[in-house]
Chains A and B, each alone.
Chain A
Amino acid sequence: DQQVKQNSPSLSVQEGRISILNCDYTNSMFDYFLWYKKYPAEGPTFLISISSIKDKNEDGRFTVFLNKSAKHLSLHIVPSQPGDSAVYFCAASVSFGNEKLTFGTGTRLTIIP
């Protein structure tokens, strides 16, 4: 049972445009969410996170939006750059401070120059 779902396995976006990656979850106990970025032959690296008490968190070109009623979060990258081409994983935990993370299957983002 996949509790965190990333329904788009891949996404292609023109350089300079906005990239929007989506993630849905089913476990209503999740209240802390993270995005990780992964390049080929490397491990995932932390990108940005959001607590359920917020609906938006911004860090430079990266913004994560959380819609708790819809159990949906999204990652916006503006503007998209070639170095953003990677696999992006959404992850969730039942509480901030709980180390156990549940990951999605990932979305491969390709930025077209």
Chain B
Amino acid sequence: DAGVIQSPRHEVTEMGQEVTLRCKPISGHNSLFWYRQTMMRGLELLIYFNNNVPIDDSGMPEDRFSAKMPNASFSTLKIQPSEPRDSAVYFCASSATSGYQETQYFGPGTRLLVL
């Protein structure tokens, strides 16, 4: 099992540019989560999907952030335009059974730096 796959692992961009983060969940998992980690706020849930449908996006900071899950094996988190305060590590996680937190498996993260 390859685990949750995220790409890119590192991204450096300039303020104002569009950034797209990608995630491939574990095959067979039906829930997908996007988190952001910063020193000040720890791990924050941005949005999660169940069976490809967005369930809760209340953690999405503002309209510059959007997430999609076109199918069960792929999701994107887009920031447009990016700002320096978006610099953080972004994690994707997936789970097999809705409602069981123990089964949330995290990817290795994408470290984003916006200059």
Chain A interface residues (CB < 8 Å from chain B): 2, 4, 6, 32, 34, 41-46, 49, 89, 91, 93, 96-106
Confirm or deny: B75 has a beta carbon within 8 angstroms of a beta carbon on chain A. Answer: no
B42 touching A44, Cβ below 8 Å: no
Which B residues are CB-close (under 8 A) to A43?
Answer: 4, 91, 93, 105-109
Confirm or deny: B73 has a beta carbon within 8 angstroms of a beta carbon on chain A. Answer: no
Which B residues are CB-close (under 8 A) to A49?
Answer: 101-102
User: Taking the nearest CB of chain A, how far is it from the CB of B54, in angstroms?
Assistant: 13
Task: Select from chain A the residue with minimum beta-carbon distance to B98.
Answer: A99
Number of A-B residue pairs having CB atoms within 8 Å of each other in the complex: 70
User: Taking the nearest CB of chain B, how far is it from the CB of A64, in angstroms?
Assistant: 13
User: Taking the nearest CB of chain B, how far is it from the CB of A103, in angstroms?
Assistant: 4
User: Taking the nearest CB of chain B, how far is it from the CB of A86, in angstroms?
Assistant: 13
B102 touching A46, Cβ below 8 Å: yes
B101 touching A44, Cβ below 8 Å: no
User: Taking the nearest CB of chain B, how far is it from the CB of A10, in angstroms?
Assistant: 12
The residue from B42, B56, B107, B109 contacting A105, defined by CB atoms under 8 A apart: B42
